[in-house]
Amino acid sequence: MSASFAPTPLRQTAVSSPFWSLIQTSMRTRTLPAIIDSLRTTGRAYALTWTKDSAPSTPHPFWDSDVYKTLEACCYYLMQTEDKDLRAFVDESVKIIQEAQHEDGYINSYYTVSGIDKRFTNLRDRHELYQLGHLCEAAVAHHTLTGTDDLLGPALKYIALVSRTFGPNEGQKRGYPGHEEIEIGLMRLYELTGRKECLDLAGFFILERGTRDEKDEIYYDHEARARGGDPYDAWSAEYRHFYAYPRDYGYQQAHMPLLEQEEIVGHSVRAMYYLTAASDYALASGNKEVLAAVKRLYASTVRTKMYVTGGIGSLERSEGFTDAFWLPDQEEGGCAYSETCASFALAVLSQRLLRHELKGEYGDVLETALYNTVLGSRAPGGGGATHGAGSGGVAFYYQNPLTTFAGHGKARSKWFDVACCPPNVAKVFGLLGELSYSYSAQSNTAAVHFFVSSECRMRLPAGEVVLKVETGLPWSGGVRLAVSAPFAVALAVRIPGWARSSYTFSGPPGVEGTVKDGYLHLPARVWTGSAGTLALDFPCVPRRVFAHPRTGKLEVALARGPLVYCAEGVDNPGLPLHSTALLLSAPLGEELAPEQEVAGIPGVPVLVAQGRAVDERAWEGGALYGDGLERAAWGEVRTVRMVPYFLRANRGGDGAMQVWLKRI
């Protein structure tokens, strides 16, 4: 398969960034061991060894995927640093998976215990194929790490069973998973092995979803009847709280075929997984209609339904999307869900789209989602007495609202019944090297997308290109790029959207670049010695951010570089954030955190703004409504301090936090 831009294999990049090295080390030494411990104590790690007679309980239908994702994440870190504990978990898990495989290839703890005769009877809800997708991704990672087929073999055998069972031919089921993921796994297998069976099956699942018969029904309707259910019964046990109405198949993006969809709908993680797989399929198959649909739905996501923090999915009930521009900030009332996995998936989709074309919007979204929602979902260090205490690296947010009220702050949790988020967080930050660089053999171009101090050794058809990046991001925006290539190669470097009007560039004499779609393109040349050194500066200064008027947000947010900031009660004692307005006429400033670090992260710039809170004395009589606002005055000017959103809820306090504040 040929790709426009292929990500650089993980082993070809060494990360040296103090910021990211601290995070990656913490992921390897604290986060993953804590996840593995939870897998073992809850029974997930061993559920595949259970039988109908020996099981202490029926496993959760999704348990196996937690193991597969953790195994995959461990492989990424082991490719960079050996760790005996992670290696032991990987080896143990692979052996359990091998021994759990049925003779025909099937692997699933839930149906092995609850009744193998019921397998593949509830694709909509039971997620066998979703879990197989994660097994495939783990198998690719394990093969890349070890060079063996110890896990790849079982995955391919299971895929062979699924390929016989599902498809358009007579005697096959025309079904597709309720939670997309197997499509990603199939495309990963296809890229590794070149097996057309994987490409064809992925294409079937992607394009069959949402097709209707002469009765205007889809596969899930027929499947429900076969189980004895009624897909039209609003009170049926078949339906759960996350459906708005019977046959609400937009939840699974199955309300219509992909090529007909104009607006992103449904469960946000499923939608992003679907588009990621479809993007990969379009690249491999050359299907331009599929790619056009992916781009259309991506635009619907990031231009009308994405939070300023890179979060998506504004409704808790469906863990998903609602109307365009409806982006409430607080989780009270079932809003501002912004699931961690959804931002993880959005970042991955953005990286996949960069394989088709270099477009700054894709890199900007990847950067925003990773730095703010995904990174902030995990406790980075020890915390205060209320939030984050002792949770450094081992506690997580499932939801990521942009506002919490005093007395209603929410601490991160060390585990969840549905534990999809923790392994995904570990996975994505183990892949920084692949997210940062890519290359095109066709255009002989090396590209830099995500700025991390690191050294990347790209292997192009003409030889090796070495890219060495030195940067202080996210705190300071200077970037030094040293390129070594004894043959002519072109460069493409992303200019972050937040610096597109203020960046500076200097290169070797006679080297001038052109900017197209947010990338600085430098023509092909031999890069050696001082003639291979480039310098860029992306000024990291405080800036105000405003929302599209259709969101109804008449507030202001603050950002600096790639980081969105928030105000917390712990930094602003006595200041009611809910009624505080920032002065647009006052300059913004910054100062280094007094303790030189915030929640274990050193060198954090704290933003300083000026604001006023409403004087509430006009309501001293206790009335809830009245003309008090006309009589009330703004209080005295106060200093408002703000920290990066990803560091929120780590230092105690009353739990108050806001990204958007009123403005005057």
Name the residues annotated as catalytic: 319, 420
Measured CA distances, 626 to 362, 580, 622, 631 (Å): 48, 20, 10, 10
Contact 447, 5 (CB under 8 A): yes
Distance CA 463, CA 517 (A): 28
- Determine the length of the chain: 664
Residue 237's SS3 state is coil
For the chain, the maximum distance between any two Cα atoms, rounded to a whole number of angstroms, is 79
Closest of 323, 319, 209 to residue 275, by C-alpha: 209
- 334-369 b/e with 16+ CB inside 10 Å = b? ebbbbbbbbbbbbbbbbbbbbbbebbbbbbbbbbbb
Residue 10's SS3 state is helix
Distance CA 267, CA 321 (A): 7
DSSP per-residue string spanning 558-581: EEETTEEEEEEGGGSTT--GGGEE
Question: Per residue, what are the HEC states of 372-425?
Answer: HHHHHCECCCCCCCCCCCCCCCCCECCCCCCEECCCCCCCCECCCCCCCHHHHH
Measured CA distances, 196 to 68, 105, 423 (Å): 24, 19, 30
Contact 617, 634 (CB under 8 A): no
Measured CA distances, 124 to 161, 201, 225, 228 (Å): 19, 18, 13, 15
Facing residues of 504 across strands? 537
Q: Is the peptide bond before 422 cis (omega within 30 degrees of 0)?
A: no
- 585-618 b/e with 16+ CB inside 10 Å = b? eeebebeebeeeebbbbeebbbbbbbbbbbeeeb
Distance CA 557, CA 567 (A): 10
